[in-house]
């Protein structure tokens, strides 16, 4: 099929590339001409495992093109996907101005029947607004259908999540676009849930809120474990083997971050409020998440007493492993919090150093993970990168002023660490 994707951020670029990989003809549109040039030259503006090779392969095969002209994308495709940002506003609601702008651009470019699919995360009822807008601004008065098709991509695993989805959700108002969407997704061999547009939009917010709730739940359990002298990982294993609960997303730590969970939670709470429901449960999920960071900082200050003039090594800056994304990163929040109390920071991340640099202007960025500990009063793990488990602990201990270790992601075994002579504090154990 001929497809176009408006917006080449994480979602748009991964979606467009994977659609090309399964054989569709894809045009990706972005209004940033520099980005388009970079992509045309085989570069990619983000770090996402496996993506760069796939982009180059599909560009070479002639299935993937980039342009800054929305009209070119729209007029050369049967299905147009909208994948533009929906950033949060100060009151927690979502800024839909990019979506509205693109809806008008699409309307102006329509010359024949198209299916317009919203992939961006939007509040329920946005599909209705997009349809209204296109109808109002489309001078050619051709027919079109609007579809909601939320994405469920995790950064760092986005290619895999798209190529092998657990499910594909398609919200439609009539059978014609449903048939076309089945054709788009046929090569992925995934269960397809066809529903109404409002339900599809709601599924996205309900899914992300539930996952955030799961994390806050295990963090709350971690706090009870600390008070009771129990081990949250054992509890997570014990409850996670119950298939109704599941072990995934039960890792306690310094809380969730990223460009999705915090924003989607606030947006969902706001929409619920606007339509008359006070979603207190989700407000508590937010509160526990914020509190989790404060509790961790307290562990550090309880041990180090005064942070002023202390040197602290921080491993991890990205909001989670396998990404260079530092948006709403708990690791960055932690660094800022420690720096505010006067600590001097030595920091390292396998992928996120460049993106973190402007956010932490006073920190020392260290290129080698094993050199971070040099002269430090304590080491802190802030992101769950697997490779931190390989850190040379013997060397770290030698080059630090004291062997103090705060593990915000529970990567190490407490008993082992104590045996090796570390003063070791983690979360819920």
Helix (H, G, I), strand (E, B) or coil at 158: helix
Cα separation, 388 vs 251, in Å, equals 16
Give yes or no for a contact between 254 and 292, defined as CB atoms under 8 angstroms apart. Answer: yes
Site string for ligand UDX, 167-196 (x = CB under 6 A): ------------------------------
Asked if residue 377 binds ligand UDX (CB under 6 A), the reply is no
Q: With respect to ligand UDX, which residue has the nearer C-beta, 38 or 211?
A: 211
Pick one of 260, 378, 381, 427: the residue that binds ligand UDX (CB under 6 A): 260
Report the nearest approach of ligand UDX to the CB of residue 28 (Å): 19
Candidates 142, 156, 157, 20; CA nearest to 81 is 20
User: 137 vs 249, which CB is nearer to ligand UDX?
Assistant: 249
> Rounded CA gap, 250 and 233, in Å?
8
One of 30, 48, 151, 377 touching ligand UDX (CB under 6 A): 151
> How many residues form the binding site for ligand UDX (CB under 6 A)?
21
Binding mask 273-312 for ligand UDX (x = CB under 6 A): ----------------------------------------
Closer to ligand UDX by Cβ: residue 145 or 384 = 384
Provide, rounded to whole angstroms, the least separation between the CB of residue 17 and ligand UDX.
Answer: 17
Q: Which is nearer to ligand UDX, 134 or 232 (CB)?
A: 232
Residue 51, helix vs strand vs coil:
helix
Binding to ligand UDX, residues 52-111 (CB under 6 A): none
Q: Which is nearer to ligand UDX, 384 or 407 (CB)?
A: 384
The residue from 268, 296, 319, 422 that contacts ligand UDX (CB under 6 A) is: 319
Out of 6, 215, 314, 396, the only residue in the binding site for ligand UDX (CB under 6 A) is: 215
Order across the sheet with 2-6: list the strands: 64-67, 25-29, 2-6, 79-82, 114-118, 144-148, 168-171, 192-195
CB 339 within 8 A of CB 311: no
Q: Toward ligand UDX, which CB reaches closer, 261 or 405? A: 261
Contact range with ligand UDX by CB under 6 A, out of 107-115, 208-216, 388-396, 417-425: 208-216
SS3 263: helix
Within 10 angstroms of residue 229's Cβ, the number of other Cβ atoms is: 7
Q: How many other CB atoms sit within 10 Å of the CB of residue 198?
A: 16
Per-position DSSP letters for 315-355, written without gaps between them: E--SSSTT----TT-HHHHHHHHHHHTT-EEEEE-SS-HHH
Q: How far is the CB of 117 from ligand UDX (least distance, A)?
A: 16
- Among 263, 320, 425, 429, contact with ligand UDX (rule: CB under 6 A): 320
Determine the distance from the C-alpha atom of residue 88 to the mean position of all C-alpha atoms in its chain, rounded to a whole number.
14
Q: Would you call 260 a catalytic residue per the annotation?
A: yes
User: Residues 99, 153, 184, 265: which binds ligand UDX (CB under 6 A)?
Assistant: 153
**What span, in angstroms and rounded, lies between the C-alpha atoms of 25 and 16?**
9
335 near ligand UDX (CB under 6 A): no
> According to CB under 6 A, which residues from 234 to 253 bind ligand UDX?
249-251, 253
Copy the structure tokens of residue 44: 């990619």
Nearer to ligand UDX, 138 or 360 (CB): 360
414: Cβ contacts below 8 Å, ≥ 6 apart = 424, 426, 429
Interface with ligand UDX includes 155 (CB under 6 A)? yes
- One of 18, 28, 138, 260 is an active-site residue; which one? 260
Question: Which DSSP string corresponds to 169-230?
Answer: EEE-SSHHHHHHHHHHHGGG---EEEE-HHHHHHHHHHHHHHHHHHHHHHHHHHHHHHHHT-
Smaller CB distance to ligand UDX: residue 325 or 377?
A: 325
The binder of ligand UDX chosen from 211, 230, 359, 371 (CB under 6 A): 211
Strand segments, DSSP code E, in 75-143 are: 79-82, 114-118
Chain positions contacting ligand UDX, by CB under 6 A: 151-155, 208, 211, 215, 249-251, 253, 256-258, 260-261, 319-320, 330, 384
User: Which residues are catalytic, by number?
Assistant: 260
């Amino acid at each position: 099929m001929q497809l176009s994707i408006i917006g080449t951020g994480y979602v748009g670029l991964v979606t467009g590339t994977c659609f090309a990989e399964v054989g569709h003809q894809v045009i990706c549109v972005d209004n940033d001409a520099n980005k388009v040039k970079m992509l045309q030259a085989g570069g990619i503006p983000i770090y996402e495992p496996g993506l760069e090779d796939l982009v180059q392969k599909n560009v070479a095969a002639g299935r993937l093109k980039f342009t800054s002209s929305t009209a070119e994308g729209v007029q050369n495709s049967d299905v147009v996907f909208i994948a533009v940002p929906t950033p949060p506003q100060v009151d927690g609601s979502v800024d839909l101005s990019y979506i509205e702008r693109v809806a008008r651009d699409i309307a102006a470019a329509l010359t024949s029947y198209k299916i317009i699919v919203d992939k961006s995360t939007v509040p329920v009822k946005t599909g209705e607004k997009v349809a209204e807008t296109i109808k109002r601004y489309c001078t050619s008065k051709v027919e079109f259908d609007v579809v909601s098709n939320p994405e469920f991509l995790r950064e760092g695993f986005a290619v895999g999540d798209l190529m092998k989805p657990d499910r594909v959700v398609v919200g439609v108002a009539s059978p014609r676009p449903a048939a076309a969407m089945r054709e788009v997704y046929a090569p992925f061999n995934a269960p397809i849930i066809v529903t109404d547009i409002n339900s599809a939009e709601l599924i996205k917010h309900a899914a992300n809120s539930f996952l955030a709730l799961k994390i806050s739940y295990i963090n709350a359990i971690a706090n009870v474990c600390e008070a009771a002298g129990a081990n949250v990982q054992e509890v997570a294993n014990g409850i996670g083997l119950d298939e109704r609960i599941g072990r995934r997303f039960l890792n306690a730590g310094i809380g969730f971050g990223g460009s999705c969970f915090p924003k989607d939670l606030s947006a969902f709470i706001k929409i619920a409020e606007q339509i008359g429901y006070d979603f207190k449960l989700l407000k508590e999920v937010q509160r526990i998440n914020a509190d989790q960071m404060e509790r961790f900082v307290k562990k550090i200050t309880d041990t180090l007493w005064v942070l002023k003039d202390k040197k602290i090594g921080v491993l991890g800056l990205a909001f989670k492993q396998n990404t260079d994304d530092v948006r709403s990163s708990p690791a960055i929040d932690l660094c800022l919090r420690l720096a505010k109390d006067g600590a001097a920071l030595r920091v390292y991340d396998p992928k996120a150093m460049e993106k973190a640099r402007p956010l932490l202007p006073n920190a020392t960025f260290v290129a080698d993970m094993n050199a971070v500990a040099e002269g430090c009063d304590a080491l802190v793990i802030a992101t769950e990168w697997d490779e931190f488990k390989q850190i040379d602990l013997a060397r770290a201990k030698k080059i630090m002023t004291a062997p103090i270790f705060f593990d915000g992601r529970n990567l190490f075994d407490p008993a082992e660490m104590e045996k090796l002579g570390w003063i070791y504090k983690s979360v819920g154990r």
